[in-house]
Structure 1
Amino acid sequence: MTTSSRSREPYLLAALLGGAGVLHIVRPSLFRSMVPAPLPRKHELVLVSGAVEIAAAALLLHPSSRRAGGAVALGLFAGVWPANLQMTVDAVRGPRPRWYVAATIARLPLQIPLLRVSARLARSQAPSGVRVRSRR
């Protein structure tokens, strides 16, 4: 990956997370069935995950908070992996169109680049000239 495409990563990831977060809040019904069966309060979990996605997106936009945004995004992607797996299991077991089943299966490995980019951003340093306050 080139330097210029890496410099766009936080903004692309922020756009993805921000859009998904808004969708979780505006249309939570689209996501409730993805929450694994043993988990309670599905509606609330969908709303919280949407809020966390929006927060991660906001953190990714500024260099001084980008590491935190990467860490939040990494935790979020790892945390929602079970929901995506549940969605795939439900698609395979249920009467779903083939394209839908294929899309849910393909989605699982496509999350790996999102995890990798999030991890890279979580480890990144702020660019020179950007002050990051340290805790004392």
Structure 2
Amino acid sequence: MPRITRRDVGDAATGLGAGTVLVIATLTVALIVASLLWAFGVFTSGAKGAGDVRRDQNGAKNREHWSATFNAEFQQIQADQGIVATLKHQADAESATGQDQANYLGAQNNCLQDVAQYNADAASTLGAPWVPEGLPARIDSDSYCGS
């Protein structure tokens, strides 16, 4: 077995030192690149977010969904309006019972919930642009559900 000399030890130390410096430099460069990519993502997130919303709003599936949703919700509100009117007439009759009053209030509450859902959808980011022509952008619950 050969003997290890001082020169061998010096060469090994120099090699280890160069390797360590190379590893540290590589890690530093990788950290800088990752930080720059992260910062770029943060600084452009507003524009990217607005663009993503615009793309989602204008998607064909989104348009189809909201058109169908608004039409169905409005038809339900119109049906609620007829039911509320009929039950109000029964609740206001001289022969009205407590059950007639309860039925009227229940139908009125159901109508109010349907109007609230329609208004929430009409104000939503993805739904607002696609309220079909001829339907209101907002519904007044008092005029549809009674007060």
Q: So what's the TM-score if we normalise by structure 1?
A: 0.35
Higher alpha-carbon Rg = 2
